[in-house]
C-alpha cells in the first residue's frame, strides 16, 4: 500500500471516529469544538472558525482557533468572541461579497487557493487582520452546515492548509474538501439533533411550568407554591450531594438525577387540577359558593329585632299600667341582652376565620349559641345554627373539615395516577415516585400509601420537607399569615421528633442554613427573625455537615 493511499484511509478512519464522537456528545459547545477541531485535523489547517446562523439573518462567531497565533476563543473556553456578526443581507440585498455569507446563502462550498488573488469576494477584513497580527491568510475552505430540512444552520471556515512534510501553506485539495463536506454533513445532523432535543426539553419544561402556574392561579391561597417548592427541593438536593461526612456522605445526585428531582418538584401538585375550587379556596369555615356567615349575621339581626319588639311591648305595658319605675330596669335588661347577642355574633365571626387551634370551651360555646331559636320569614321557629354550620364552625384547626380534607388529600392520588400514565424517558422514570411521596411520613402514617422512610427514595423525603417548609412560611394561606423562621423550624423539629420527616435531611436543612438562603429570597423581612438553634426540637448542633 502506497503512502498516499494509507494517508487517505487514515483520514477516513479518523472521519468515522469523529462521526461517532459527534453522535454521543450532549454538550453544545463541546460538540462544536469536536466539529472544528476534527476538520482542522483532517485538513491540517492552521486556523478555523465555526459560525451559526441566527434568527437575525446573520452569522454568529461560535468558535475561533488559530494555532500559529495561539488564539482559542468561544466554545468551552469561556472566552467571548467580540467580533460583530456577519450580516447575510445588506440593505435588503444578499451579502455575496463575504465568503462565509456567500456559502450560507448559496448552500455551496467555496474553496479559494489564495485570498489575496481571489476575485469576487471582499477580503478587506482579512487583510486588516493580517496587517495587525502579521499573519498571512492564504487558502480558504468554507463549507455550509445543513439540517435535515436542507436549511443552512451554520458555516465552517478553515484557513491555511499545511503540507504535512514542509509545513508550507498550500491550497485545500479536492480530497480534503470532500472529507470536510462529509464531516459537515454529519455535523449538521448532530447539531440539528441536539437542537431538537433542546427544543423538546424546553417545550417539556414550559408545559410543566404552565401546569404549575395554572394550579397556583387556581387558588389565591396557594399561589406560588408550585414554583417555590422546586427551589427548596433543589437546595436540599445540592446540599445532600455536597455532604462529605455523616449519614449522607455516600449520597450523590448526578446532573440527570438533579434534573429529575426538579421536574418531580414542579409536578408534585399536578393532581390539584381535579380538586374542586370551592374546597381549595375555602377561606373560612362556612364558605361554600359564598361565606354563610352572612346568613348568620341576618339571623342575629332578626333576633335583635324580635328582642327589641319584646322589650318595647313590655315598656308600653309598663307605661299603660303606670309602672314607670320599671322602665329603667327594662331598658337596662334590653341593653345587656343586645350586648350578649353582639358578643355571640362577634365570637362566631372570629371563629369562622379559623386558626391553628380551637379550644373545647369555644366549641361548646358554638353549640350553646346554636340552641338559640329564631323565627324565619315564614313564621317558623328554627334552631339558630344548622347541624352543618355547627360542624363547620367547630373545625378545630384551619377551615377545612375532614370530608373536605379527604378531597384535598386526594390530589396526591390524582398526581400519582396522572404521572404514572406519562411515558417518562429512562432518566425521568422516578418522577412519579418522587412527586407522589411528598405527603408520606417516615413513621408510615402519611398518605396515600402509608410508606415508611425505607420505602421512599431520599429525593421523595426531600420533597416532603420542601413542601412543609414552604407551606409554613407561605404568606398566602386563608387562615394564617406566614410564620417566622424560628416558628417554622420549631414545627419542623417537632415533626422530626414525631417521625414525620427524615431526620438526616432535617439536620442538613439547618446545618447548611438552607432555610436562611431560601428566606432571603422568598420571605418578607419581618419573617426573618433570629434563630436560636438550641430551641429547635430534635436538632443536634454538634452534627455539622462539611
Q: What is the mean pLDDT of residues 162-175?
A: 92
pLDDT band at 546 (very low <50, low <70, confident <90, very high): very low
The residue written with cell numbers 419544561 in the block is 205
For residue 243, CA distances in Å to 250, 418, 422, 542 come to 8, 34, 33, 15
- Residue 400, beta-bridge partner list: none
Give the three cell numbers for residue 503: 431526620
Q: Given this model, what pLDDT does residue 2 score? A: 55
pLDDT digits (tens, 9 = 90+) for 345-375: 999 999 998 877 899 999 999 999 999 998 8
pLDDT at 543 over 60: no
For the stretch 481-520, pLDDT in tens is: 788 999 999 999 999 999 999 999 999 999 999 999 999 9
Asked if residue 279 has pLDDT above 90, the reply is no
More confident: 212 or 302: 302
Q: What is the per-residue pLDDT for 212?
A: 82
Q: How far apart are the two ends of the chain, measured CA to CA in Å?
A: 62
Q: Is residue 35 very low, low, confident or very high in pLDDT (cuts 50, 70, 90)?
A: confident
Give the model's pLDDT for residue 186.
Answer: 84
Mean pLDDT computed over 83-89: 93
The mean per-residue pLDDT over the stretch 124-140 comes to 92
Between CA 521 and CA 519 the distance in angstroms is 5
Lowest mean pLDDT among 68-77, 81-90, 125-134, 274-283: 274-283
Rounded-to-integer distance, Cα 484 and Cα 475, Å: 10
pLDDT in tens, 424-438: 999 999 999 999 999
CA–CA distance from 275 to each of 77, 81, 208 (Å)? 50, 52, 18
Which position has the higher pLDDT, 22 or 287?
Answer: 287
Calpha distance 257→255 (Å, rounded): 5
Q: What angle do CA 108, 193, 237 make, to 5 degrees?
A: 145
At residue 34, the pLDDT reads 82
Q: Span 108-122, mean pLDDT?
A: 92
Sign of CA dihedral 287, 293, 294, 299: positive
Question: Does the pLDDT value for residue 194 go beyond 50?
Answer: yes
Bridge partners, 382 (sequence order):
374
Structure confidence at residue 413 (pLDDT): 87
Q: What is the DSSP letter of 475?
A: S
The answer to whether residue 221 scores a pLDDT higher than 70 is no
Mean pLDDT, to the nearest integer, of 403-427? Answer: 87
Helix or strand holding residue 45 (H, E) = strand 45-53
pLDDT of residue 250: 93
Q: Is the pTM of this model over 0.85?
A: no
The Cα 65–Cα 353 span in angstroms is 69
Amino acid at each position: 500500500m502506497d503512502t498516499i493511499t494509507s494517508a487517505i484511509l487514515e483520514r477516513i478512519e479518523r472521519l468515522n471516529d469523529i462521526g461517532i464522537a459527534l453522535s454521543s456528545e450532549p454538550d453544545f459547545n463541546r460538540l462544536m469544538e469536536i466539529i472544528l477541531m476534527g476538520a482542522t485535523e483532517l485538513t491540517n489547517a492552521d486556523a478555523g472558525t465555526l459560525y451559526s446562523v441566527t434568527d437575525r439573518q446573520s452569522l454568529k462567531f461560535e468558535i475561533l482557533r488559530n494555532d500559529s497565533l495561539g488564539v482559542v476563543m468561544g466554545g468551552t473556553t469561556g472566552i467571548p468572541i467580540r467580533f460583530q456578526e456577519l450580516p447575510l443581507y445588506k440593505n435588503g440585498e444578499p451579502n455575496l461579497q463575504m465568503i462565509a455569507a456567500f456559502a450560507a446563502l448559496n448552500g455551496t462550498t467555496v474553496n479559494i487557493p489564495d485570498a489575496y488573488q481571489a476575485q469576487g469576494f471582499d477580503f478587506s477584513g482579512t487583510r486588516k487582520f493580517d496587517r495587525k497580527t502579521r499573519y498571512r491568510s492564504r487558502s480558504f475552505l468554507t463549507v455550509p452546515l445543513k439540517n435535515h430540512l436542507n436549511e443552512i444552520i451554520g458555516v465552517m471556515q478553515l484557513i491555511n492548509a499545511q503540507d504535512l512534510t514542509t509545513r508550507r501553506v498550500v491550497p485545500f485539495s479536492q480530497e480534503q474538501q470532500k472529507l470536510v463536506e462529509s464531516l459537515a454533513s454529519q455535523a449538521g445532523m448532530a447539531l440539528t439533533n441536539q437542537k431538537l432535543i433542546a427544543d423538546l426539553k424546553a417545550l417539556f419544561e414550559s408545559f410543566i411550568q404552565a401546569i404549575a402556574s395554572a394550579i397556583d392561579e387556581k387558588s389565591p391561597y396557594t399561589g406560588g407554591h408550585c414554583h417555590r417548592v422546586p427551589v427548596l427541593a433543589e437546595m436540599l438536593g445540592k446540599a445532600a450531594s455536597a455532604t462529605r461526612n455523616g449519614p449522607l456522605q455516600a449520597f450523590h445526585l448526578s446532573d440527570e438525577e438533579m434534573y429529575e428531582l426538579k421536574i418531580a418538584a414542579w409536578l408534585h401538585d399536578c393532581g390539584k387540577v381535579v380538586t374542586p375550587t370551592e374546597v381549595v379556596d375555602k377561606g373560612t369555615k362556612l364558605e361554600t359558593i359564598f361565606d354563610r356567615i352572612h346568613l348568620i349575621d341576618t339571623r342575629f339581626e332578626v333576633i335583635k329585632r324580635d328582642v327589641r319588639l319584646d322589650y318595647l311591648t313590655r315598656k308600653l305595658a309598663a307605661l299603660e299600667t303606670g309602672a314607670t319605675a320599671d322602665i329603667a330596669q327594662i331598658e337596662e335588661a334590653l341593653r345587656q341582652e343586645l350586648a350578649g347577642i353582639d358578643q355571640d355574633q362577634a365570637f362566631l365571626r372570629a371563629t369562622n376565620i379559623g386558626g391553628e387551634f380551637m379550644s373545647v370551651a369555644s366549641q361548646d360555646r358554638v353549640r350553646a349559641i346554636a340552641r338559640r331559636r329564631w323565627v324565619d320569614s315564614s313564621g317558623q321557629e328554627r334552631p339558630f345554627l344548622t347541624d352543618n354550620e355547627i360542624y363547620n364552625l367547630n373545625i378545630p384547626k384551619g377551615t377545612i373539615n375532614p370530608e373536605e380534607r379527604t378531597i384535598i388529600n386526594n390530589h396526591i392520588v390524582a398526581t400519582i395516577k396522572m404521572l404514572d400514565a406519562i411515558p417518562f424517558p429512562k432518566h425521568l422514570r422516578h418522577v412519579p415516585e418522587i412527586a407522589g411521596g411528598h405527603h408520606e411520613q417516615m413513621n408510615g402514617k402519611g398518605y396515600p400509601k402509608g410508606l415508611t422512610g425505607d420505602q421512599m427514595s431520599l429525593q421523595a423525603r426531600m420533597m416532603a420537607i420542601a413542601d412543609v417548609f414552604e407551606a409554613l412560611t407561605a404568606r398566602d394561606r386563608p387562615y394564617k399569615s406566614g410564620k417566622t423562621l424560628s416558628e417554622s423550624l420549631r414545627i419542623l423539629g417537632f415533626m422530626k421528633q414525631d417521625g414525620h420527616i427524615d431526620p438526616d435531611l432535617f439536620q442538613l436543612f439547618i446545618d447548611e442554613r438552607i432555610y436562611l438562603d431560601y428566606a432571603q429570597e422568598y420571605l418578607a423581612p419581618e419573617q426573618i427573625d433570629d434563630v436560636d438553634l438550641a430551641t429547635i426540637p430534635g436538632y443536634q448542633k454538634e452534627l455539622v455537615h462539611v
